[in-house]
Structure formats: structure tokens, C-alpha cells
Chain A
Amino acid sequence: MTVPTFSSWAFTSWGNVIRKPHEIAPLPSRHAAFPAVPSQTSVLPYGNGRSYGDSCLNVGAALIPTRALDRFIALDAASGIVTCEAGILLDEMFRVIMPAGWFVPVTPGTRFVTLGGAIANDVHGKNHHAVGTIGRHLVRFELLRSDGQRLICSPTQNPDWFSATIGGLGLTGVITWAQLQLRPIAGPHMSVETIRFANLDEFLQLQSESDRDFEYTVAWVDCLGTGSQLGRGWLERANHSTAPTPVQHAQSRGLNVPFAPPFSLVNAASLRLFNTLYYHRPRARHSDRWFESFFYPLDSIGNWNRLYGPRGLYQYQCVIPDAAGREGTAALLEAIARSGQGSFLAVLKAFGALESPGMLSFPRKGITLALDFPNRGQSLERLFVELDAIVRATGGRLYPAKDGRMPPELFREGFPRWREFTQFIDPRCSSSFWRRVMDGA
């Protein structure tokens, strides 16, 4: 059966900056042939659109939506190996694996990503220092190429394709299914400690103390703090609770932002108010929390990206290599505080040394900082240029999954294996992001 292509405006990225129609080339099942599109049109697999910028978009060309590939294939409840189609959401996976006593080895900050998207961006989580990225936990997956080949990729079978596809931004073909080694849990709760820190040095001290005994660590930082308060915030450190409690998923998702207000609700006044109150609010040190509230605080507000108004938002996530970690991070925070722009949730985390098999994997040993910014056009870009210079001077890099604007040179310097990667790109695949960062190469 040939499935006709059609045009749709419904495919955007999470930042909502780019709103353009795409041709849609459906892939009805994992057994179906690579979708046929006119020979001059490129295609890009599209999962749940949770990348922030243009890495999941292919403006002027076609997308292959993968959400229809959402079937489980097998779950080995004894060994914790799950096999499922690549369009399944982590959220959907949890409803099956958690009652069986398992959890994903790595999760990003939203559970509404597809498994294929998680692989294509080689996602990391609050446990990066302990277990690395998701690419380290993949047993194997199938890659469907536009010439009809189906490559089974694992660390030992087609290892170069395995390495190119992990963090490969969907450019190597369509991941149809994947097999993932899960990690055992006693129950759905997290045993969390929340500790305030007064500045960046205290954060670094706390973080290094915590990494030994806690699988998960992450910090919220007040992006408006300056001087002696530079880098103040809260550190959360947690382990899976050992108390076996039954898994009871809520039926509804709770709050939702039904439409974008005419202007961004995130602005200088609301930002200062929120950050000051959030920093000073009293919090109990120990708490026992439902896993969703620990891993996915923002998921509790459906479509929270709409709060940034009709012009959308940019996220800036960089990693500063260890050697320059303290100074580089301080310089970034100073520049952001000076600009008065920033977000309610600025996140700071120390990455560990565990390496990913992914050729274009983002994390490396060092400190990562992530902030959302309302799209203010030129004034925001000026700040970004300033931040880019700091990142570049330290030999750091930006996360493609979050990016919608980095200069091509910054990408190519930050990801020196890009040239090697290009030989694995499917001749029919491209993306807005890729054309942008390859400009002039």
C-alpha cells in the first residue's frame, strides 16, 4: 500500500519559534517500506516534537512522523530488557515497565519524548555522572534506510552505524524499533534531599560530595544572582526509594496551558519575583516524592511552552569542560544576570566522565547549564553571541536538541567528529538544523 503524502502545519518544535508547513510522508508500521517522496524532497523522522529548535524540523521538505510506531515487541521481566517500536513515549512505556519493577536507565526532563527521539539525541538525565547517556544502555535497534536496507545496530553488529545513529539527530535513517536495558526499582517513589547553596563554589562542593552516594543530582540556580550570590540555588539529590509501593498512575495530566497569551508571561518582573521567592522559600531537607514530580516537574503543566507567548522561546544548553568548569560557568551566569533575561528554571548539573558510543553525543565531562529565554529577537541574540564566546573559549559545546540558532563554526568546533558523521547520513535525510550548521562547510 502506498500512503500519499500531504501538507501539514501541525508539526512544530517545542520552542514554537518556527511555524511552517511540512510535507508529511507517513510510515504506517515498522514493517512498511521507507516512505516514497519526490526525489528532490528530503525527509526527516519526527517523534513527539520535544526538541526545542530546528533539529526535529525540515522546513520546505518532508517529515516522517513516527508516533504511530508505538507497539511493544517484548518485555523480559526477569532481565529487564524491553523491546519496542521507536515511536512509543517514555510515558507510555512507564505504564507497562514500572508495575513490572523496572525503570528506564536514563530519562530527560520530560517523559513525553519518543524512544527514537531519545536515541537520536542521545539524551542524558540527572544520573549522567552515574550511568552516562541513554546510548550506553541500548542493546540494539533497527535502522531503516531509504534504499530499503534494515540494519540491526549494536555495539558489536554494525557498530559504526550504531555510533552514528546515537545522537545522529535522525539523519542516518528511521529507527523503527529498539531494545533497551532497564534498571530495577523497588517502587515508583524517590527519596530526595533538597539543599540550598549560596554561590557557585558551594554548588561545586555539594555536587562533588553528592555524586558518590546519589544516583541523581541536579541544581536549580537563580539566574539573576550576582556578586557573592552568583550561582546561588538549590541542589536536589536523590535515589530510587527502596520502599515497595504499588504504581498508581493518575488518569489526567492536570494543569494545561490552553493557548499562548499575546505576550510572554516570562519577563523581567515575573522573573525577579519568582527567582527571589523560589530561592528563599523554606523547604524540608528530606522528602519522599512520586517519580514524576522529581523527574518531570514541568510535565505537570501541559503545553507550558505557550507561557512564552506567540514568539516562542529559545533554550540555551551548553557544556563547559571540566578544566574551565568554574570560571566558564561563572562567566556565563554573570553575562546572563547582567542581561536581565533568563528563565524560571535555570538548571545546573555536573556531567560525569562516562563516554557515550554516540559520534555526535553532546555530554562530556564538565558542567552543563540550561536556560530558557523568551524570544526577544535581536537583544536575545546579542546575549547568545556573548555566551557563545565564553563556551567557545573553554572548548565547550551546545546541545543540538535545544538549539535553534548556533553559528555553524561553533557546532563544527564543538563536535569535531561531524565530518566522519556525514558519511553515515542517509542520502534522502536532512533537517533544518543540519543545513544550518553545515552552511559554508
Chain B
Amino acid sequence: MKKILVVGAGSAIAEATARLFAQRGDALFLVGRKADVLESMCADLRVRGASAVGMHVMDANDFNGHEAMLNDAEGSLGGLDTVLIAHGTLSDQKACESSVELTLRELNTNGVSVVALLTRVAARFEQRKAGTIVVISSVAGDRGRQSNYVYGSAKALVTAFTSGLRQRLYASGVTVVTIKPGFVDTPMTAAFPKGALWAKPQQIANGIVGAVDRSSATVLYLPAFWQLIMLIIRSIPEAIFRKLKL
């Protein structure tokens, strides 16, 4: 039985993943902004088989609240061995372009707050020489594109930070997994027309649970074909890329 902290529990990917853990009898601690959502998730996960469920209402941008939340999680679960960081917002790129304030807020939510959390979690796990940290980044972080480079650059921060953290913690036996989902059909993307590239949150969740079980300290594109797509996108020369409407 694992003791799992889920930050951004209300996201579709996090909820699908939490359900898979619950079905196996793992213990879960949920963190999110909305108390009513967390409460209904707790009840749901209990029915699905979670051995214990706890919750903590927090805005990830409240950096000063992170330490208290981690203490609450460890106290509630009686320890902690797995952390899934899944919170985020899909930035409105157009609105960001005319608002410094919004741009900085999006960077905080999707990038800086993740770094702040990771720094605290890493310190705890490194000391114990055990633990698994799974972070949801995005294919959008692989290369900035005009359609969503604010979100993309926040995710690039997460990708680079987790890459370095993975190296640092490898010696301590702490596993850091960077998940890069492609297009996922969630409430966040409800308004987009869906094609063959779109995955269901359940598919991403299966990949995440598999990575936790294998303890594979790595970068994981989900679904896997995104690795190839992003390889191509990254290798387009800048002289061509700058003209593309991506």
C-alpha cells in the first residue's frame, strides 16, 4: 500500500490517476483549491477502495502554505512515499500578450509554484533516501509556439527543473518522473475540436501508475507517439519554424 499525495487533485488526469490508486487500496491525500470538489473526490475514492483518504484546501500559488500542507499530508497518511504534482491552468495566450500581470500569474501557477513544491518535497525525500515524485509537465514545454508559449515556457521550467532534480536525487534512491502528456480531452480543453491525437485522461493515468510501479526515473511522453512528434517539432530549423502557424 502506497501513501500518495496528489497536488492539483481536481484535474482530470490527477483524478483518473487517483482512482487507479484507490482501486488498489492505496492511501491518498488530496490537495486543491475547491473544498466541495475535494470532499466529493474523497467520498468517491473511499467507495472505490482507498484505504485512507485525506484532503487539504490550498492554492498552489500560496507558497507559504506549502510546508503546512506537507506536514498535514504526512500526519494524515502517517508518512508519504509518492507525490503527484498535477495542478495547472491552460493559459489564455491572447490575454497574456496584453497583460504582464496575467502572464506572471500563469508562470507562477504552472511553473514557479511547482518548483517551490518540488524543493520542499525533494528535501524530505532526499533525507529519507526514498520516495517517488511524479510531475505533470507538457509537450508544450518542449518548444515555444506562438499559440501557447506562456504555458509552454512555464512547463519548460518544470521540465528542466525536474531533469536536474532527477540527476541530483538519483544517488539518494529517490525517483523523479516527468510526465509529458500531449492533447488530453479534459474539462480544461473541452472547447477544442478533437482529432485522432487526443487521449483520454484514463490513458494518461495508466501511464502514470505504470511509471510509479516501475520506479523508472525518466521522462515519459503520454501517449508514447508524442515523443516522435516532439522530436520532429524540436528539429525544425528556426528559419522555418518562425514562419509556422503552430
Task: Give A residues with C-beta under 8 Å from B.
Answer: 3-4, 6, 8-10, 24, 26, 28-31, 68, 71-75, 84, 95-96
Contacts and interface: CB of A to CB of B under 8 A. Distances in A.
A30 B187 contact: no
Nearest to B48: A96
Contacts of A4: 191
Interface string B23-65: 1000000000000110011011001110000000000000000
A290 B43 CA distance: 30
Contacts of A71: 40-41, 43-44
Given A26-B187, A72-B48, 6 more contacts: A8-B193, A10-B194, A29-B37, A29-B40, A31-B37, A75-B47
A29 B36 CA distance: 9
B8 to A, nearest CB: 15
Contact of A30 (B40, B47, B48, B194): B40
A347 to B, nearest CB: 32
B88 to A, nearest CB: 16
A10 B187 CA distance: 15
Contact of A96 (B37, B47, B193): B47
A71 to B, nearest CB: 4
A31 B41 CA distance: 12
B190 interface: yes
30 contacts: A3-B187, A4-B191, A6-B190, A6-B191, A8-B193, A9-B193, A24-B190, A26-B190, A28-B187, A29-B36, A29-B37, A29-B40, A30-B40, A31-B37, A68-B187, A71-B40, A71-B41, A71-B43, A72-B44, A72-B47, A72-B48, A73-B40, A73-B44, A73-B47, A74-B43, A75-B47, A84-B47, A95-B23, A96-B47, A96-B48
Interface in B107-145: none
A39 B49 CA distance: 43
Category for how many chain B residues contact A:
10 to 19
Contacts of A73: 40, 43-44, 47
A30 B40 CA distance: 9
A3 B48 CA distance: 29
A29 B187 CA distance: 11
B40 A31 contact: yes
A277 to B, nearest CB: 36
B178 to A, nearest CB: 26
A9 B37 CA distance: 29
Given A4-B191, A6-B190, A72-B48, A31 B43 contact: no
Contacts of A75: 47
Contacts of B190: 3, 6, 24, 26
- Identify whether the interface residues of B are mostly helix, strand, loop, or mixed: helix
A188 B166 CA distance: 45
Q: Can you list the 6 inter-chain pairs with the closest CB atoms, starting with the nearest?
A: A72-B47, A71-B44, A6-B191, A72-B44, A75-B47, A31-B36
Nearest to B41: A71
Contacts of A95: 23
Contacts of A24: 190
A95 to B, nearest CB: 8
Contacts of A10: 194
B12 to A, nearest CB: 8
Contacts of A84: 47
Nearest to B37: A29
Interface in B146-192: 187, 190-191
Contacts of B187: 3, 26, 28, 68
Contacts of A72: 43-44, 47-48
Contacts of A26: 187, 190
Contacts of B43: 71-74
Contacts of A6: 190-191
B205 to A, nearest CB: 13
A8 B37 CA distance: 26
Nearest to A69: B40
Nearest to A4: B191
Nearest to A10: B194
A183 to B, nearest CB: 18
A131 to B, nearest CB: 24
Contacts of B37: 29, 31
B206 to A, nearest CB: 9
A4 B37 CA distance: 20
Contacts of B47: 72-75, 84, 96
Contacts of B49: 96
A116 B47 CA distance: 19
Contacts of A74: 43, 47
B43 to A, nearest CB: 6
B187 to A, nearest CB: 6
B213 to A, nearest CB: 15
A391 to B, nearest CB: 40
A6 B47 CA distance: 34
Interface in B174-227: 187, 190-191, 193-194
A28 B40 CA distance: 13
A158 to B, nearest CB: 23
Nearest to B186: A68
A167 B41 CA distance: 29
A71 B43 CA distance: 8
A192 to B, nearest CB: 29
Nearest to B44: A71
Contacts of B48: 72, 96
Contacts of A30: 40
Residue of B41, B44, B49 with highest tally of chain A CB at under 10 A: B44
B127 to A, nearest CB: 36
Residue of A3, A26, A29, A71 with highest tally of chain B CB at under 10 A: A71
Nearest to B23: A95
A331 B125 CA distance: 76
Nearest to B206: A251
A30 B190 CA distance: 17
A30 B187 CA distance: 14
A182 B56 CA distance: 33
B24 to A, nearest CB: 12
A182 to B, nearest CB: 13
Interface string B215-246: 00000000000000000000000000000000
A153 B51 CA distance: 33
